[in-house]
Amino acid sequence: MLMTGQGGAAYIAAQQKEKNMAEDSKGSNLVRLAVGAGIIAAGAVALAVFVPRRRWQQAAAPFRAAMELPIAAAIAAWATGLWDDMTAPTPPSFDDMRPFDEF
């Protein structure tokens, strides 16, 4: 079977079509994100407005008691150390798998 290069044009056209579809769906994704954020914000405001403060205090009492335990301090210290390790500055890594030009 001879390769004439005829399929290349179809492949490029398919890539262009996918790119156009991705750009078209980007706008709807942003709208979905904005609507979702609005719903979450409305729910948070509704909870803050309609749930009495004493109910929040009653619900938080067991968490406050748990925070006084030594294990809570150990977990908080571990999480802080983990956060520091994950956000520490690192040198850039160039692992883009391109072939070397030295050969």
Query: Quick one: pLDDT band at residue 12, thresholds 50, 70, 90?
Result: low
12-21, 54-63, 69-78, 88-97: segment of lowest average pLDDT? 12-21
Average pLDDT score over the chain: 81
**pLDDT score, position 43:** 95
**pLDDT score, position 103:** 54
Kindly tell me if the per-residue pLDDT of 26 is higher than 50.
yes
Question: Higher model confidence: residue 2 or residue 78?
Answer: 78
CA distance 44 to 36: 12
Kindly tell me if the per-residue pLDDT of 65 is higher than 70.
yes
